[in-house]
C-alpha cells in the first residue's frame, strides 16, 4: 500500500505509457486475512491490472526463523486460503477472477502450504504459480525449476535476485492470452551503435581456432 500512498499517480501513469501493471501482496501471518483484504481493497480498488494479483506465500520477515514463524497467530495454509478465497470472490477485474497467483519457493511451500490435505493442495494448484528458485549455475534454456505440491508447471520463474530476474513459461501468444490485455508497446528508441568487442580468455584459447569470418573457408587468424 505504500505505492498508492506515496506515489498516488503511478498506477495511471504506468498505464498511460503502455507499461503492464500488477499487484504483489505478502500474506503476513501477523494479521487476520480479513484485515489484509480490507487493506488490499483500499490500496488497489480491486483493479489488478494486466499482470494480475499475486499472493506472496512466505515468512513476513526474510530473516525470521521457522520456529518464530510457527508462533505467529495467523500462520499456515488455512489463512493463506482465506485471503485467496476472499480475493477470488471479490469480483475483481482480470484473469484473477479465477484465483490470484501464488508466489512462493520450495522452502516456503514446505513450511506453510505442505501440511494442507491433498484436496487443499489441489485447490492451491488451480492458482498460477510464480516460483522463486535461485540456482548457482543457471543455464539459459537448460535449467528448470523443480515443481512441488500439485502444480504441474510454473507460469513465472524468478531465477535470480538482487535485482530480480523472471522468465515467463510460454510463448508471446501464450503470454498475451494468459494476461488478457491489449498491449501496444511504445516505439523503442534505437540503441547507440558501438563496435563489437570479443574477449577471449587464455583458457578459451587453448585448442581453439579463431577464423577471420563466419565460415570454415576463412583463414585461421
Per residue in 5-18, pLDDT (tens digit) is: 777 788 889 989 98
Torsion of CA 45, 14, 104, 168, to 10 degrees: 130
Of 71 and 190, the structure prediction assigns the larger pLDDT to: 71
* Band (190; pLDDT cuts 50, 70, 90): low
The span from the CA of 36 to the CA of 142, in Å, is 39
* Average pLDDT, rounded, for the chain: 84
- Give the per-residue pLDDT at 130: 97
Bin 175: left if φ > 0, else alpha if -120 < ψ < 50, else beta. Answer: alpha
Closest by CA to 34, choosing from 76, 74, 94, is 74
Question: pLDDT band at 183, cuts 50/70/90?
Answer: very low
**Residue 113 clears pLDDT 80, i.e. is over it:** yes
Report which of 83, 157, 153 is spatially closest to residue 113, judged by C-alpha positions. 83
Tens-digit pLDDT profile for residues 127-182: 999 999 999 898 988 899 999 999 999 999 999 998 999 999 999 888 888 876 55
Residue of higher predicted confidence among 182 and 81: 81
Beta bridge partner(s), residue 216: none
Predicted confidence band of residue 49 (pLDDT cuts 50, 70, 90): confident
pTM value surpassing 0.75: yes
| Residue 52 Rama label (left phi>0; alpha psi -120 to 50; beta) | left
pLDDT score of 192 more than 60: no
Amino acid at each position: 500500500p505504500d505505492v498508492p500512498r506515496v506515489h498516488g499517480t503511478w498506477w495511471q501513469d504506468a498505464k498511460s505509457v503502455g507499461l503492464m501493471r500488477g499487484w504483489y501482496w505478502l500474506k503476513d501471518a501477523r494479521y487476520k486475512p480479513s484485515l489484509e483484504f480490507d487493506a488490499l481493497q483500499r490500496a488497489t480498488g480491486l483493479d489488478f491490472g494486466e499482470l494480475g494479483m499475486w499472493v506472496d506465500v512466505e515468512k513476513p520477515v526474510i530473516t525470521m526463523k521457522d520456529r518464530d514463524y510457527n508462533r505467529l497467530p495467523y500462520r499456515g495454509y488455512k489463512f493463506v486460503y482465506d485471503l485467496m478465497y476472499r480475493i477470488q470472490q471479490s469480483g475483481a477485474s482480470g484473469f484473477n477472477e479465477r484465483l490470484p497467483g501464488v508466489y512462493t519457493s520450495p522452502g516456503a511451500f514446505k513450511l506453510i502450504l505442505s501440511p494442507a490435505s491433498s484436496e487443499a493442495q489441489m485447490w492451491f494448484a488451480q492458482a498460477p504459480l510464480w516460483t522463486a528458485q535461485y540456482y548457482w549455475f543457471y543455464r539459459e534454456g537448460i535449467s528448470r525449476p523443480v515443481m512441488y505440491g500439485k502444480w504441474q508447471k510454473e507460469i513465472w520463474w524468478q531465477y535470480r535476485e538482487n535485482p530480480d530476474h523472471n522468465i515467463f513459461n510460454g510463448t508471446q501468444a501464450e503470454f498475451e492470452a494468459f494476461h488478457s490485455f491489449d498491449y501496444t508497446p511504445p516505439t523503442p528508441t534505437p540503441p547507440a551503435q558501438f563496435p563489437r568487442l570479443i574477449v577471449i580468455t587464455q583458457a578459451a584459447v587453448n585448442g581453439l581456432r579463431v577464423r577471420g569470418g563466419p565460415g570454415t573457408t576463412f583463414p585461421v587468424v
